[in-house]
């Protein structure tokens, strides 16, 4: 039938408050803390983008908090005479592994958002869901 309107685009491709498709906005919102804050403020309609924005905010805060704690532990270990250098070395290895873990989680979340899949970062995702009113 020639009079039928074309089917609507998939939900992940329809632009919302930001004018971007949901998957692009959600992927950009995955930029820890800053991307999350920007898209949480700009996007008022799309729950997919709002979820990834809040997850990015919580994830970015956790990453920031880890860096602060890491700097404090580094300063304390560095002040210990004799074995401080060894402790700082081992702490630097542990901190580097944790930092790599943060980057891997960030990349996975960004790819999942870009593909339109809703993915919870362990421990962070449920907190984000609760904050945006999802169960």
For the chain, give the mean pLDDT.
89
pLDDT by residue (tens digit) across 9-23? 444 455 567 789 999
Inform me whether the pLDDT recorded for 130 exceeds 60: yes
Q: Select from 25, 50, 27 the least CA-distant residue to 109.
A: 27
CB burial of residue 96 (10 Å; 0-12, 13-18, 19+): exposed
Percent of the chain with pLDDT over 90: 78
Give DSSP secondary structure letters for 3-62.
TSPPPPPPGGGS--TTSS-HHHHHHHHTSTTHHHHHHHHH-SS-HHHHHHHHHHHHHHHH
Distance CA 17, CA 6 (A): 23
Position 125 scores a pLDDT of 93
Mean pLDDT of 53-68: 97
Mean pLDDT of 73-96: 93
Distance CA 61, CA 112 (A): 20
Inform me whether the pLDDT recorded for 135 exceeds 90: no
Inform me whether the pLDDT recorded for 6 exceeds 70: no
Position 7 scores a pLDDT of 47
């Amino acid at each position: 039938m020639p009079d039928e309107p074309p089917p609507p685009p998939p939900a992940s491709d329809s632009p919302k408050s930001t004018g971007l498709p949901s998957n692009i906005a959600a992927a950009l919102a995955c930029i820890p803390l800053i991307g999350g804050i920007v898209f949480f403020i700009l996007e008022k309609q799309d729950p997919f983008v709002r979820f990834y924005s809040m997850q990015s905010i919580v994830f970015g805060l956790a990453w920031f908090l880890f860096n602060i704690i890491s700097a404090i532990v580094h300063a304390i270990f560095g002040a210990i005479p004799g074995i401080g250098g060894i402790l700082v070395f081992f702490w630097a290895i542990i901190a580097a592994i944790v930092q790599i873990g943060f980057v891997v989680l960030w990349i996975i979340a960004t790819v999942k958002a870009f593909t339109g899949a809703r993915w919870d970062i362990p421990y962070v995702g449920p907190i984000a869901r609760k904050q945006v009113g999802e169960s």
